[in-house]
Structures are given as C-alpha cells and as structure tokens.
Amino acid sequence: MDTAQGNLTLGPILFHWSAETKRDFYLKIADESPINTVYLGEVVCSKRSPFMMPYYAEVTDRLTRAGKKVVFSSLAEIMTPRERKMTEALCHDEKYEVEANDTSAIYHLRKKPHRIGQYCNVYNEETLRYLALNGAHHVVLPAELPRNTIYIMGKAAKTLDVSLEVQVSGRVGLALSARCYHARSYGRVKDNCQYVCEHDPDGMPLKTLTDQSFLCINGIQTMSYGYLNLLPQIPELMEMGITNFRISPHSLHTDTIIETAHSILHGRITGEQATLIIQSLLGDVPCFNGFYSHAAGYEWRNHTHALSR
C-alpha cells in the first residue's frame, strides 16, 4: 500500500451498533478499503464493551492480514473501579498498540511506546514534549485546534520525532458527562439504560426551542450536529507536518468518504469536488470547518486567511 502521500486512519466507532454490524463493517474495511490504520475498542461507554469481545480475534486477524495496522483505543472517561481495571488490562496487553484517551491510560502506558487520542487535550508544544518524553510517539490533535496552532504543533512534532493525526471527517465529540442524557431522553437512568443508544446509530439529534438543529447525543457524549469536513485542507495539513488523517466512522457513507479522502491524497480530485461529494451524501446535515478557520466551530468557511508563519 502506497503511504508516501499520507495515511488514512479509521477512528474507533463511537456509536452503539450491534456487534454483528461492527464485525461486518470491519471485515469490509479489511477487504475493500484503502485505510492504513484502524482503531478498535470502546471509547464512550464501558457498558457497550462486552458485545464486541467475541469478534475481536476475527476482526483483528482479517485487518492484519489485509495489511492494516490495528490500534486499540481506551475509554475517554473512567468513573468506576471496573473501568479502571479494564483500562489497566488494555494497557498491559502487549499484542497491540494502545491509544490513550484518558490520563489513567497514560499512567499505565508511561515509558512504553503508545499513542495519544483526541480526548486528551494536547493544545501546545510543552504538552506534546512531556507526552513524547513519556513514550508517546503519535498524537491525535483535538478537533477544535485552529490552523495556526496545528502549524506550530507540526513544527514541534518534527523535532520530537512524533507523528500527528487530525480528524478530517465525521461528527466531533465535544464533551463527556457522568450522566447519560441518551437514557434520560427515553425516561431511563444510566444504570438501567437498556442500551437505548442503539436506536440512534449516528447519534440522537437535538433541536433548540426554535426548532434549529443544534447538537447530537451519543450516550454520555455530546457531539456536533454537523460533520467536520477538512478533506479540502488535507494538502495544506500535509505541508504543516500532519501525516495521518482520521475519518470517524458513521453508519452511512463511510466507504464513500474514505474513497474521497483517498482521491484527495493522491491528487485525483480537488477540494471543491470533495466538498460537493460530501455535502451531497449528507443532504440537509451541514458540514463545518469553523475551528480550523479561526471561526465559530459550527461554521463553514469557503475561504480562509493565510497561515501566520
């Protein structure tokens, strides 16, 4: 697989799909997708974790034989002793590399090669340097960083021999809560949720009192309503030193989005063409690039100011 022009990564599935759906999704990725790295594991809610356990051996084997690098992602919020034990066990399993999404995982991974996920707030060069000195060799930057900051981080990463990854497509996680709003919306509580989040395979859209689409709820996670679209910025991101481009999986159109990103990487289509493709897939759901463009996060900017270098 040609990775000279950058790597496409598939982030962990953030939503509660059936285990069989997840398995079939990953097997298709193994057989048909140009993705380079696949992140597995439960990030949002530990109660979902057991469902996929019987299929990990099959999925990891098929992905590995297809030439994909497999990385396991840790939980982003750890609240109970059981979750602490789950995280510790994941971090001490030497078979696959781990992406830490919480400081508990960072603690157990210290001085060992590991990755840092986008739920850890790596906002500046000093944080990046500290993590690198403790074994991190790959960092996924938070989705809310503006382009000038990404440029600065790219320069720092080069001196530290750390590779950087940026999410370029999909809904963005904005916050995590101890409470499960998804369960509450169905008149249930977190401990007896009956997995109602499975009814919303891409998150449950929220509206304001004036009927304006606003955010999405995914279990304990609050997400953007719109879809981040930085596919047109991939060439510029590569110039800044970003080597990996994350696509966050959704129940629909992920394969087309991957192919579109791959076409951008190899110069077969323009950014404008990519945007038309993505927006045609999403219909009335908007794209946004506001964080990157130094604007309100939910906004879409066709033209951005030049980088301050």
HEC profile of 170-232: ECCEEEECCCCHHHHHCCCCHHHCCCHHHHCCCCEEEECCCCCEEEEEECCEEEECCEEECHH
Which of the residue ranges 152-156, 222-226, 282-286, 303-307 would you say has the lowest mean pLDDT? 303-307
Average pLDDT for 163-186: 96
Residue 198 lies in a domain: no
Residues 6+ apart with CB under 8 A from 251: 15, 17, 21, 201, 202
69-73 and 204-207 beta bridge pairing: unpaired
Confidence of residue 309 (pLDDT cuts 50, 70, 90): very low
Separation between Cα atoms, residue 117 and residue 102, nearest integer Å:
8
38 in a structural domain: yes
Overall average pLDDT of the 119-125 stretch: 96
Amino acid at 21: T
Asked if the structure places residue 293 within a domain, the reply is: no
Report if residue 196 sits inside a domain: no
Instruction: Categorize the per-residue pLDDT at 264 as very low, low, confident or very high, splitting at 50, 70 and 90.
Output: very high
Domain range for residue 259? 7-173+226-288
> 173-176 and 136-140: which strand pairing?
unpaired
Q: Is residue 17 part of a domain?
A: yes
Q: Are 245 and 39 in contact (CB under 8 A)?
A: no
What is the residue type of 274?
Answer: A
Domain count, the chain: 1
Residues 167, 180: Cα–Cα separation, whole Å: 25
The token duo for 235 is 């060439």
Residue 7 has, within 13 A of its CA and on its CB side, a CA count of 19
Asked if residue 303 belongs to a domain, the reply is: no
Domain-embedded: residue 276: yes
Q: Is the pLDDT of residue 267 over 70?
A: yes
CATH of the domain at 86: 3.20.20.70
For residue 4, pLDDT over 90 is answered with no
E strand spans, the chain: 7-10, 37-40, 69-73, 97-100, 114-116, 136-140, 163-170, 173-176, 204-207, 213-218, 221-224, 227-229, 244-247, 287-288
Query: Quick check: is 52 in a domain?
Result: yes
pTM over 0.85: yes
Predicted local confidence at residue 302, as pLDDT: 85
Least confident range from 2-11, 153-162, 247-256: namely 2-11
**What's the pLDDT tens digit per position in 149-166?**
999 999 999 999 999 999
Q: Where is 259: in which H helix or E strand?
A: helix 254-265
Let me know how many helices (H) and strands (E) the chain has, helices first.
11, 14
How large a percentage of the chain has pLDDT more than 90? 95
Q: Tell me the C-alpha distance between 198 and 92, whole Å.
A: 30
Over residues 45-103, the pLDDT tens digits come to 999 999 999 999 999 999 999 999 999 999 999 999 999 999 999 999 989 999 999 99
Mean pLDDT, the chain, whole residue set? 94
Give 1's pLDDT tier (boundaries 50, 70, 90): very low
The DSSP 8-state label assigned to residue 53 in this structure reads G
